[in-house]
Amino acid sequence: MKKMKLNQLLKGTAAVLAGVLLLGFVTSCSNDDDDDNTPGSGSSHKVVFKAEASSGSNINIAVYGIDGDATTATSLTGTTWTSPEITAPAGAYTANVAVNAIGANAGSTLKVQIWVDGQLKKEGTSSGQVLSASTSYTF
């Protein structure tokens, strides 16, 4: 019974993650009112996404990407996760990441990070037994 509730909770949390990430992608595509409608900085970037959960926790899913190009990593295990390096093309606007984990207890934590060209640019956190952390970075 407990496992079934946990599976239902994970499915619901994964749906919320997907929705948050989709919202990030949609808002990253919105137009601004200035004369220069070209998003991004005009140069490519090397991007790596990372997640770290507290001891005894278990990372299980990550959704990450550049602009509207999302990748989902499922069946993850352990307390750390790192994406492959992605090259964000010139003109890319945002990098987005959302990660789910199950904490060992109510004091558990999850941290997600976006690294751009070797520098930490953005971080998001979550705490509790059901962990869901996300963040985005605009180039």
Query: What are the chain's domains?
Result: 2-30+39-138 (2.60.40.2880)
pLDDT single digits (tens) 43-74: 999 999 999 999 999 999 999 999 989 999 99
Nearest to 74 by CA among 58, 59, 61: 61
pLDDT single digits (tens) 83-101: 999 999 999 999 999 999 9
pTM above 0.85, yes or no: no
Nearest to 59 by CA among 95, 123, 22, 14: 14
Nearest to 48 by CA among 85, 7, 22, 2: 85
Question: In the structure encoding, which two tokens stand for residue 100, read together?
Answer: 């789910």
Mean pLDDT along residues 16-35: 50
Going from the C-alpha of 97 to that of each of 1, 33, 107, the distances in angstroms are 31, 27, 23
Answer for the pair 57, 132: CB distance below 8 angstroms, yes or no.
no
Q: What is the radius of gyration, based on Cα positions, of the chain?
A: 16
Mean pLDDT along residues 25-31: 47
